[in-house]
Structure formats: C-alpha cells, structure tokens
C-alpha cells in the first residue's frame, strides 16, 4: 500500500473499538470477527475455533465436547469480565453438566506480568488442569512455545444449539465510513493468501474450514 505502519496498543476490554477508532485515531484493527457490528470488515482471512490443549504425554485424544472422558477431567477455560461473560465453551460444558469440572482463568490477567492470557496454557503444561479449552490462535501460539510438548485440537461440534458458536471467521476491520480502505485491504489479502496462510502456520494458528468449503 506504500503506507507507513504505526501501532497503538490497547487492551481489548469494554469500549475497545470506540477507543481504538476515535481516541487512538486507528484506521485498521486486525483480528475482528467477520460481520462485527462495530466495524466494517473484510471477508475472513482465516477461520479458527476453540481448541483442546493437553499435554502430549497424557494422550487424551480429545476432539469432541461430547467425549465422556471430560467428566473425569479438570478443564481450564478462560473467563471474560464478570460471571455473565463466560466464553462459548463455558456454556457448552454447562449444558453437559460439567460445571464442577471447570477451572477459570481470566483473559485479562495482570498486565504487570508477561502474557497474562497464557495462564491457562501454563496450567495445562504444569498439570494444574488436565485439559484447556482455549481460543485457537491463542492456544496455538503459546502451545508452540511451551517447554512441555502440548497438543492442540479444534473442538467439535462448532455450533451449539441454540446459537452458541465455537468457530469464527476472522477479518480485518476498519471504520464504517472507510469502505474504500476496506476494499483495498481485501484485495491485498486475496493476492497474498498463500503468504497469509504461511504466517498463520508459523504462529501455530489452527484453521478450520466451513462445512462444504
């Protein structure tokens, strides 16, 4: 694009998009759910899901939220905000009667410490929990860098009834009045799809295809 890239770092808490676009003067936000109502988004440049994270030496071989083995395991999940802001896996596991198996780790954490969202991965590596169910890009990135070998496997099913999704298309977001910028970025993503996929692979991001794709 011939543009100079400048970054403004902001924790993704309540009001993130308003602050990023207005106060920070941001033009582009990466990693936005496709069709998100607070931004104008490109077509997804990847699709990922929540994933099971477990130690290789445990050989748990989990792929499904319906696996009966989960009833005997301590399961780490990430929590956002107050108790009403549980992530999709929390609702899915509650429907299966597994609330007592859950151990919560805050997404936000203590920002005076390095990588606070990685605490759930640390808990799996250290044996504090048997398995974590973690948003795929975060799971893949930190699992790949763990000194303890970890397995990352996308969960199934991808959709819980009624309407709880565990897989999402991820896009680039711009301000709602910046259609020309959105369209230009989308063209660049299309032209460089192979390179984008290589970067995602380097960072350990598990990708899932939409049914029929």
Domains assigned to the chain: 16-45+173-202 (no CATH), 47-165 (3.40.190.10)
Q: Rounded to 5 degrees, what angle do the CA atoms 136, 56, 108 make?
A: 35
Report pLDDT digits (tens) over 90-125: 999 999 999 999 999 988 777 788 888 899 999 999
pLDDT of 5: 92
Q: What percent of the chain has pLDDT over 70?
A: 96
pTM for the predicted model, two decimal places: 0.90
* pLDDT, mean of residues 1-12: 87
Report pLDDT digits (tens) over 184-204: 999 999 999 999 999 999 999
pLDDT of 82: 53
Report pLDDT digits (tens) over 54-93: 999 999 999 999 999 999 999 999 987 654 467 899 999 9
Three-state secondary structure string covering 117-167: HHHHHHHHHCCCCCEEEEEHHHHHHHHHCCCCCEEEEECECCEECCCEECE
pLDDT band at 163 (very low <50, low <70, confident <90, very high): confident
């Amino acid at each position: 694009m011939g543009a100079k890239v400048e970054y403004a770092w902001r924790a993704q808490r309540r009001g993130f998009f308003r602050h990023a676009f207005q106060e920070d003067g941001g033009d582009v936000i990466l990693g936005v759910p496709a069709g998100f109502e607070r931004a104008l988004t490109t077509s997804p440049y990847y699709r990922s899901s929540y994933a099971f994270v477990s130690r290789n030496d445990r050989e748990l071989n989990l792929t499904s939220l319906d696996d009966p083995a989960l009833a005997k395991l301590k399961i780490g999940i990430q929590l956002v905000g107050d108790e009403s802001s549980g992530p999709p896996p929390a609702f899915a596991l509650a429907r299966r009667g597994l609330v007592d198996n859950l151990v919560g780790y805050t997404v936000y954490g203590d920002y005076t410490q390095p990588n606070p969202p990685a605490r759930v991965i640390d808990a799996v590596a250290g044996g504090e929990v048997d398995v974590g169910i973690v948003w795929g890009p975060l799971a893949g990135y930190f699992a790949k860098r763990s000194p303890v070998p970890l397995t990352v496997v996308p969960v199934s099913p991808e959709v819980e009834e009624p309407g709880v999704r565990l897989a999402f298309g991820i896009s680039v977001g711009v301000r709602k009045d910046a259609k020309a910028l959105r369209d230009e970025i989308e063209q660049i993503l299309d032209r460089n799809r192979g390179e984008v996929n290589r970067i995602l692979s380097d960072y350990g991001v598990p990708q899932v295809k939409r049914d029929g794709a």
